Amino acid sequence: MSEYEPTPQGPGMSAPPLDLEAKLHQLEQMVAEAKAVPLSSSIMLNKAEVDGLLTEIRASVPEELRRARWVVKERDELIEEARIEADRILAEARTERDRLIARTEVVQAADREAERIVEQSREHARQIRLEAEDYVDAKLANFEVVLHKTLGAVERGREKLRGRLDTDELASDEDVLDEE
């Protein structure tokens, strides 16, 4: 059997997978090594060898095409899965972005509301403090008036006492003088 002959196959024998590229290389080698026909550009080839090689090539072409189609189909499926995954990741990223933006807006709104409440509370506390100061001032003024009246009454009472004492002292001095 020559190197260009097909691999024998029989019952129970499995042939190794045919490599289309190797077979085409064999054909090219046959053409390159073929004897030239004198006085022409033609060459002489063994018809049986070329027919056998061409038969093997024809037989392997459908298998190679099937493998190529399978590779292309697998590639297309991988590309589609990658595209679906990329779309899913982008959708999740957009959702997360929107959630973060909304959260940021909510936080900002809450900060503004908190600041408004704190400022309102400060103003309310200032008003209460002023009202308390006014109330205490009014009570102290009333107390001052009552104190002045009480002090006046105390002074008048003391003066009366002094006057009575003075009168009593004069009377008792007169009594003492009369006794003498």
Report the pLDDT value the prediction gives residue 128, as an integer from 0 to 100.
93
Report the pLDDT value the prediction gives residue 59, as an integer from 0 to 100.
80
The rounded distance, in Å, linking the Cα atoms of 176 and 62 is 162
pLDDT in tens, 15-63: 445 577 888 888 899 888 888 888 888 888 888 988 988 888 888 777 7
The rounded distance, in Å, linking the Cα atoms of 161 and 167 is 9
N- to C-terminal Cα separation, the chain: 185
- The pLDDT of residue 7 is above 70: no
- The pLDDT of residue 144 is above 60: yes
Contact, 26 vs 4, CB < 8 A?
yes
What are the φ and ψ backbone dihedral angles of 45, each rounded to 5 degrees? -130, 155
By CB neighbour count within 10 A (0-12 exposed, 13-18 middle, 19+ buried), where does 115 fall?
exposed
- The pLDDT of residue 166 is above 80: no
Mean pLDDT in residue range 70-99: 93
